[in-house]
């Protein structure tokens, strides 16, 4: 968390997290010590522990930073005023989500976290909250606003969000995190067909 930190403190925290990220990807989580992180970041151990009391906190911060790039944070999405506007919003989200999480650096970070999540129970909750749940809540909020505006019919916005996020996550998981080959980004055409098929399912019926 960076709330309440000064600009100088935030910069220091980011410097430490960047050093940890570099070492985690090079040496693995288990192979990286807090001593190594403090040395890489050129800070004292006291300073390191002030910002990150435990090594798992560093991993959480790195994952959170990776996901925040997608801009799926807590800011409420705007209310769409037409079906075309809603379509554009969903396409924009889908494109940002896949492009960011299927970037090689992001794939490496998530693979690292996945590898540790089964060994560190509290990390599983962090991963669940950072990736699928945050994206799910973001989409559900967009759909709920569209439903209120009478653009679509979604009695259950959470279920509707799962119907859209599920296909998107197949690209992120199958062609990204779990792929044994080069990461493949879904084409703009595929994302358009995915969103259009979803909108047909939730279209307002007389």
Q: Has residue 2 been placed in a domain?
A: no
- Where is pLDDT greater, at 2 or 163? 163
Same-domain status, 35 and 83: no
Please say if the pLDDT value at position 128 is more than 90: no
Residue 29, CA distances (Å) to 26, 41, 58 in order:
9, 16, 10
Mark 46-81 as b/e (b = at least 16 C-beta within 10 Å): eebeebbeebebbbbbbbbbbbeebebeeeebebbe
Same-domain status, 160 and 85: yes
SS3 4: coil
Contacts of 91 (CB under 8 A, 6+ apart): 191, 192, 195
CATH number at residue 49: 1.10.10.60
Whether the Cβ atoms of residue 90 and residue 145 lie closer than 8 Å to each other: no
What is the mean predicted confidence (pLDDT) over 156-172?
94
pLDDT score of 17: 93
Same-domain status, 82 and 23: no
Same-domain status, 151 and 78: yes
pLDDT score of 168: 93
Closest by alpha carbon to 66, among 17, 26, 32?
Answer: 17
Whether the Cβ atoms of residue 182 and residue 103 lie closer than 8 Å to each other: no
Same-domain status, 102 and 49: no
Q: Has residue 102 been placed in a domain?
A: yes
Count of domains in the chain? 2
Q: Has residue 1 been placed in a domain?
A: no
CATH number at residue 100: 1.10.357.10
**pTM of the prediction?**
0.79
Closest by alpha carbon to 159, among 147, 149, 170, 150?
Answer: 147
Please say if the pLDDT value at position 71 is more than 60: no
Residue 118, CA distances (Å) to 54, 112, 147, 180 in order:
18, 11, 38, 20
Cα-trace Rg, the chain? 19
Query: In this structure, what DSSP letter does residue 30 have?
Result: T
Same-domain status, 11 and 68: no
The residue segments making up the domain with residue 23 are 7-53
Same-domain status, 86 and 11: no
What is the mean predicted confidence (pLDDT) over 56-71?
77
Q: Give pLDDT tens digits for 35-55.
A: 999 999 999 999 999 999 999
Same-domain status, 68 and 14: no
Please say if the pLDDT value at position 61 is more than 60: yes
Q: Has residue 69 been placed in a domain?
A: yes
Q: Which of 5-14, 31-40, 84-93, 189-198 has the lowest mean pLDDT?
A: 5-14
């Amino acid at each position: 968390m960076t709330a309440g930190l000064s600009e100088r403190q935030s910069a220091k925290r980011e410097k430490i997290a960047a050093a940890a990220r570099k070492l985690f990807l090079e040496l693995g989580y288990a192979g990286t010590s807090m001593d190594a992180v403090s040395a890489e970041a050129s800070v004292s151990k006291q300073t390191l522990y002030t910002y990150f009391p435990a090594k798992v906190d560093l991993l959480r911060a790195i994952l959170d930073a990776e996901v925040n790039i997608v801009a799926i944070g807590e800011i409420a999405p705007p209310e769409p005023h037409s079906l075309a506007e809603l379509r554009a919003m969903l396409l924009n989200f889908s494109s940002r989500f896949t492009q960011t999480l299927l970037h090689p650096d992001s794939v490496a970070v998530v693979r690292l976290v996945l590898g540790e999540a089964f060994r560190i129970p509290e990390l599983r909750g962090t991963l669940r909250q950072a990736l699928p749940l945050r994206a799910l809540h973001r989409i559900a909020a967009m759909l709920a606003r569209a439903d209120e505006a009478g653009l679509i019919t979604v009695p259950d916005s959470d279920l509707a969000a799962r119907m859209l996020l599920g296909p998107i996550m197949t690209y992120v998981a199958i062609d990204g995190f779990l792929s044994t080959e080069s990461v493949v980004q879904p084409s703009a055409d595929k994302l358009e067909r995915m969103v259009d098929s979803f909108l047909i399912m939730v279209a307002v019926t007389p």
